[in-house]
Amino acid sequence: MLLIFGKMLTVAVLLVLGVVIYKAGIVSVQGSKETSALVIQICCPLMIIYNALEDESVFTLTELAAILAVCAVVYLVLLVTGELLPRLLRAPKEKYPFYTMLSLFGNVGFIGLPVGLSILGSGSMLYIVIFNMMYSVFFYTYGLVTMSRAVGQKIPFRLKSLVNAGTVSCVIALGIYLFRAVHPFAAPALVTDALGYVSCTTTFLAMLVLGVNLATAPLKAVLGNLRMYGFVLLRFLALPCLLAAVLSRLLPGEPMLVSSMALMAAMPAGNMSVMLASNYNAETDTLTSGIVLSTLLCTVMIPVVSLFFPG
């Protein structure tokens, strides 16, 4: 736990550094948006491909199918949790969809990818890749249905929404694993070195953007939402601990799979939900509150969740 707490403390320092950089006027809100696009469209996708190339793990088609099945079940648990918790906490009915979005769509790419690799190593890469692919599937299907409930209008699903830098890089990574299963290979050093240099920037740039987001968030209103504290503790602390404990019993021979699923479930709420809400003129206070609180508390909650990792 101390090792993981140390890594999360490093993340917290980078987050604070992001706040300081913004306050010092070095990076503006517009600059943060451009950096966010750089991380989402370039850094994270290349980091996925780089770590897939560096990871020497070999998986069969049967194992890949089993991982997909486990990941789908985890997402269904997150979905059900998101539907039940606002009712349990007696949140206003009109805010139910926002709690569902917060529960279902964690920051598994922007934060999850660099933090997951830092804590679990490259052996977790395939599990994180599949988790991110499942995120896209759920976001552009059930996520749109949920936001439709919030705004009272039907939001159409477009298949092309699933084609983006993140999903394309995940497909490439899966292809690397599949190809390696039948024909071991090593990428040229020129390629891996270039990808490695880009990958090294991802964690800092991601934390810089989050630091700017925190610096510009209405913290007084966010920190005063007492119901959200209960939601964050139940969803981002209690549930991942329970998932780790249950999956450890069900999958005793798969410690990396169990740890990866629990860690991804513990990732704080992501920004995509609030972006979608803004796009359809829905209120964003509930989403912003959940995102900021879960991000602030994750540096403490994730080390606690790690206590339930097998092995």
Token digits of residue 52: 């897939």
Contact 210, 20 (CB under 8 A): no
- Cα–Cα nearest to 130, from 71, 63, 195: 71
Report pLDDT for 10.
Answer: 86
Sorting pLDDT into bands at 50, 70 and 90, what band is 1? low
**pLDDT tens digit sequence for 36-47:** 889 888 998 898
Secondary structure tally for the chain: helices H, strands E: 16, 0
Mean model confidence pLDDT for the chain: 89
Q: How far is CA 103 from CA 75, 250, 299, in A?
A: 10, 23, 18
pLDDT of 118 above 90: no
Query: For the segment 6-26, what is each residue's pLDDT rounded down to a tens digit?
Result: 888 888 888 899 999 999 999
Mark residue 107 as left, alpha or beta (left: phi above 0; alpha: psi -120 to 50; beta: remaining): beta
Q: What is the pLDDT of residue 285?
A: 85
SS3 140: helix
pLDDT at 245 over 90: yes
The pLDDT-based confidence of 2 (bands split at 50, 70, 90) is low
Whether the CB-CB separation of 311 and 253 falls below 8 Å is answered with no
Coil, strand or helix at 184: coil
pTM of the complete model: 0.88
Question: What SS3 class is residue 106?
Answer: strand
State which CATH number among 1.10.10.10, 1.20.1530.20, 1.20.1440.230, 1.10.3660.10 fits the domain covering 2-302. 1.20.1530.20
By the 10 Å C-beta count (0-12 exposed, 13-18 middle, 19+ buried), 281 is classed as exposed
Largest CA distance in the chain: 56
Please name the residue that has the structure tokens 């699923």: 261
Look at residues 52, 16, 33, 72 and name the one whose alpha carbon lies nearest to residue 186: 52
Residue with the two structure tokens 């999903």: 167
